[in-house]
Every structure is written in structure tokens, then in C-alpha cells.
Amino acid sequence: MNKDSFKNELAAKGLNLSAEQLGQFETYLHLIQEWNQKMNLTAITDDSEIWQKHFYDSVVPFLHTSFQTLCDVGSGAGFPGIPLAIAWPNRSFVLVEPLAKRCRFLNEVKTSFIWIT
């Protein structure tokens, strides 16, 4: 899967992402790959697998839910919390991660996306 097929598959299921949101997913993808060179965040590092297994698979189970707040316990590299926050920026998300090294990564993601508080 690539950015275009990700966008098209989600649109076919009723979720239309803006160019800005797709750019945020791309930024997140690059942060994952960059930080994964320093620490083991995920075994999945190939672009197409990240689009499919981390982004698409994080978003699809929540397509037809009406939650306003979600707590992602054991968030690791931010899945599914960060993809969900990108897909639904008007909803609230809390990411809980016990490992300090992963918390450092999540804080870097947070500072890269000024809309995440």
C-alpha cells in the first residue's frame, strides 16, 4: 500500500482525508523510520508496510464508531493513537506508554504536530 492507495481505500470506506492529513501521515512515517534507526520502535519499517499495517490497520476498525475520547494503553510507537488523531483531529486521544524511550519518541511526534497536545 502507498499513500494514494491508503487515501483511496479509506475514501471507499467513507473517510476522506485532506492533503494536510496525508502530509501528517507522511511526516509520521518518516519519524518512525528515523527513530527506528536509533531504537527498536517497530519491526515494520518498509513504507508500504507502514501504510498498510500501521496506518490503515489502525484506522479501519474505528471507521464506524462514534467515540469522542480514546485511551491507547501501551501505545508503543503510537499505534493506533497517532493515526487516529490524524484521521479525526477533533476527537481526544490519550496515549499511555510505560517505556521511557518510546515516550521520548511520542514526545517528538507531539512536538512535530503542533495540534497534538
pLDDT at 113: 77
pLDDT at 114: 57
- Whether the CA torsion 70, 115, 85, 51 is positive or negative: it is negative
pLDDT band per the 50, 70, 90 thresholds, residue 116 = low
Model confidence pLDDT, tens digit, residues 16-54: 999 999 999 999 999 999 999 999 999 999 999 999 999
Q: Please tell me the pTM assigned to this model.
A: 0.93
Residue pair 63/16 in contact (Cβ under 8 Å)? The answer is no
Residue pair 73/96 in contact (Cβ under 8 Å)? The answer is yes
Q: How many residues in total does the chain contain?
A: 117
| Residue 113, C-beta contacts closer than 8 angstroms, at least 6 positions apart | 24, 27, 28, 85, 86
